[in-house]
Chains A and B, each alone.
Chain A
Amino acid sequence: MQRTGLFIERAGFLQRLNPLTKVTGVLLLIGATFLLPAPLTGAALTVGALLPLAFASLVAHRFLDVLVKTLLPVLISLALVQGLFFPTSDPTTVAVGPLLFRRAGLQFALDTGSRLLVVAGAPLLLFQTTHPGALVQALIQSGMPRSIGYIVLVALQLIPAISERAVGVAEAQRARGLETEGSVLQRIRGVLPLISPLIVGALVEAEERAMAIEARAFNAPGPKTWVRDIPDPPVERTARIGMLAALGALIVWRIASLFSG
């Protein structure tokens, strides 16, 4: 069992890119969807950028699966709430069956929904095509403190490990006759024997793990090296500069248009 979060191991287009390039791309896409007019930008970026990239990276099926399952309930409730209750002076309504939706409310839901597609879809594609270890390594190599990177990685791996331990604790206590099924009172009585070993065990392990990473020279002075090489060709560095410049230009254009309008 590999504990690598959302990452899907495939030999696609995005998987070959440096994680920093992908992070910069995500920033540009999210920036653009807020800085350019909605809903056209959100829809265009989803159909014109995210989906082709997902196909080129061989993760389109899982990408759409997660995106639809995550966003569909949000989008439906957004359309219902904003369509029915959006505060507006515009009396125009749209009838859908017995329901009368306010047009301004639907417009707001459409704008927000199109932006949500990019805000959720771009990071999803990043994490589905980037191994978390590679992402953290790239961030550390570009200046993020190692301790922060360590905390992120430990969290990613230990949460599933603690879940497994919880199963082990439940098994051990049920084997000692603890009823974990049945009435509410029985369940409440069962909480302490289930929670206590988990917390005490985690604290004891925290000390041992702190000792273990010390033993593995985590705090040793001097430059660090990496066993995995993350390629960063000049073309990608140039692309990152280009994307950041585009983002900057969009921000300047947006501010300028606000003042001129």
Chain B
Amino acid sequence: MAYCVALFWMTVLSRRALDVDLTHLRTNHADMNDVLQPHTRIALHNVTFTYAGATEPALRDVTLAVPAGQICAIIGRAGAGKSTLCALCAGFVPHFFRGRLTGSAIVDDMPVATHPIAELVRHVALVGSNAFSQISGARFTVYDEVAFGLENLGVPRPAMIERVEWALRALGIDHLRDRSPYALSGGQQQRMVIAAALAMNPPVLALDEPTSQLDPPAMIELADVLRSLSRQGMTILVAEHRLEWVADVAERVVALDHGAVLADGAPASVLTDPRLCEHGIGWPRPAQMAAQARAEGRWAPERPLPITVADLAAGLRAAAADQESMNGQSNTPHGLTVRPVAEMDEALSMTPVAEPVVTLDEVHFTYPTGVEALRGVSLTVRRGERIALVGRNGAGKSTLVRHLNGLLRPSRGRVLVDGVDTRTTTVARCARSVGVVFQDVRNQLFARTVRDEIRFGPRNLGFAPERVDALTEAAIDALDLHDVVSEHPYDLPPARRRLVAIAAVLAMDTALLVLDEPTAGLDNASIALLKRLIEQLTERQRSVLVVSHDLDFCYEALDRVVLMRDGRIAFDGRFAEVDQVQTAALDGDVGLPIALRLRYVCP
């Protein structure tokens, strides 16, 4: 109850605790004529915002005009200012987050700084990146949760019901209407909070990392919904890391770097702008792959770099046709070797002879509720293997991961960790061989500094102080955390917090490292860091098992893929060897990485 009272007062006090340079805002209002165009819904002019207590601005001299009906994507590295920009457009900067704001921000003809959030909510809806904490807590079913905002706006019941029904259908959660919001998976919660915002039918919608917990089919559905809303005139601002999804959905892309606009324009030009690579943002995969082909002389220099898979496939087909007409033959259907096969073969030849780290032998597991989550799973993880564990929500992945370190023990069958049956040992002992980084890193972080956080694991395992120091420094190195070692983990942006959580388990130097959705919310630079880390671990004969919806990451960083379905292993093979049947199975359950899509779906 004390927590609830604190929450209530936080809402009240935050609206009073302002420290905003409103005078400057008003004087700059006249300058807005330069920015405002007919039907401009978001008009920012020379906006600079510095959070209270921060030394550097989060936004620097940002000028941006977004017309009605446009889907404008904001991209950039973690901490580039994307979330701040979304919060500004919804009025949470400066009305909720304290700081100094200069410049002018007008959203749907409402000057943001001079209108309270309570008024702005009729003009703009904001959906934050953490779905769990976006749940109001005041309603008991998904249906009522989606209706909550409309009730607060005083929408008459018949119109409210119509809008709630539409939003539930649009986000594909109609069948979940009577479930508790807290009983949903992360992806379902994310769709619910987006539905709740859409139901309010705002002229402007700001989405912060909307795909961070969505699986590929849900991402495609969300893109369809946003395009449909945009056609109806809704202006959509979307801050997003997944550049392939941005390329698919956005009509305009704004790249931010250290709070300033780095590039602004059509997706095809911004997403292939070399400055994105220079500033660590990177390109979408189709552009990267075509650039690689261009460097190898297999993509014509005059042909623009593609940003979508369809354009990449078309370009590759054209290149293959050209090559065929010149040489009379083509090596690959699409003229592009997307991943060196030799590299895969090398990994393939290394692993089968290695000793097992974890062995699951006909494992069954039934929860006390009666749900049978595992139905005869047999799996061996050997030293040096890189495994992707994929499957739909509810397929049994999380239950399986909890068996790898003894958090759960089989109802039937057995699990051996380094040869020891998990039923005869403790979780802490299993942790010497298997390190697990769970998806919700907030459950893990507690220490006062990043360095202390990383030291916690190896100290628990009873390592000598010198070894603890060495492992801590190595983990800091591997995850590039030197600049934040003395900071509190909670003071870091979510993406770096995840890297701290990974470093903290990495420092335990286990034979197997299990990563649950490690790329969620990470920018391209951090994902590249992870790939390097996995390579280094493989070189040291450490195994890695990744649970992820990010199939492209899995394909690029791992060798073996295990698809789970209904508590069983549907197939267990290597990315280099998957055939058409297995590809179809993957496609049906979790989607395909671009490389496999090129090989089998649009060759």
Contacts and interface: CB of A to CB of B under 8 A. Distances in A.
Q: Do A and B come from one complex?
A: yes
A158 interface: yes
Contacts of A211: 92, 96, 128
A232 interface: no
Interface residues of B, number: 83
B274 to A, nearest CB: 37
Task: Tell me what chain B mostly uses at the interface: helix, strand, loop, or mixed.
Answer: helix
Interface of A: 1-4, 131-133, 147, 149-155, 157-158, 160-162, 164-165, 168-169, 171-179, 181, 192-193, 196-197, 200-229
Given A207-B10, A225-B160, A216 B148 contact: yes
Contact of A208 (B130, B197, B427, B435): B130
B467 to A, nearest CB: 14
B150 A176 contact: no
B570 to A, nearest CB: 26
B443 A169 contact: yes
Contacts of B116: 219
B428 A178 contact: yes
Given A151-B7, A222-B153, A225-B157, 6 more contacts: A3-B140, A164-B182, A172-B444, A176-B456, A176-B460, A178-B460
B154 A175 contact: no
A217 B152 contact: yes
Nearest to B146: A227
A197 to B, nearest CB: 5
B503 to A, nearest CB: 12
B171 to A, nearest CB: 16
A193 B456 CA distance: 9
Given A150-B8, A176-B457, A225-B157, A197 B427 contact: no
Contact of B426 (A2, A133, A181, A208): A181
Contact of A173 (B96, B133, B444, B461): B444
A226 B136 contact: no
Contacts of A157: 137-138, 140, 180, 182
A197 B446 contact: yes
B137 A176 contact: no
Contacts of A223: 154
B182 A3 contact: yes
Contact of B140 (A131, A177, A224, A229): A131
B135 A212 contact: yes
B5 interface: yes
A1 B117 CA distance: 34
Interface in B434-454: 435-436, 438, 440, 442-446
Nearest to B137: A154
Per CB-CB distance, the 4 closest pairs between chain A and chain B, nearest first, are A177-B460, A208-B133, A196-B446, A227-B147
B431 interface: yes
Contacts of A155: 1, 3-4
Interface in B112-131: 116-119, 121-122, 125-128, 130
Contact of B435 (A3, A175, A217, A228): A175
B212 to A, nearest CB: 14
A74 B109 CA distance: 65
Given A212-B135, A213-B11, A172 B443 contact: yes
A219 B11 contact: yes
A157 to B, nearest CB: 5
A224 B407 contact: no
B149 interface: yes
Contacts of B7: 151, 154, 206, 209-210
B153 to A, nearest CB: 5
B90 interface: yes
Interface string B448-477: 000000001100110000000000000000
21 contacts: A3-B140, A4-B140, A4-B180, A150-B8, A151-B1, A157-B180, A157-B182, A164-B182, A171-B438, A171-B443, A179-B428, A205-B132, A207-B14, A209-B137, A210-B10, A214-B96, A214-B121, A215-B149, A219-B117, A220-B118, A222-B154
Nearest to A229: B157
B152 A216 contact: yes
A1 B180 contact: yes
Contacts of B436: 175
Contacts of A165: 443
B137 A216 contact: no
Nearest to B490: A200
Given A197-B442, A227-B157, A133 B140 contact: yes
A161 B440 contact: no
Pick from B151, B164, B504 the residue with the most CB of A within 10 Å.
Answer: B151
Pick from A4, A153, A218 the residue with the most CB of B within 10 Å.
Answer: A218
A196 B489 CA distance: 12
Contacts of A164: 182
Contact of B444 (A154, A197, A220, A221): A197
Nearest to B1: A155
A74 to B, nearest CB: 24
A107 B161 CA distance: 57
A215 B144 contact: no
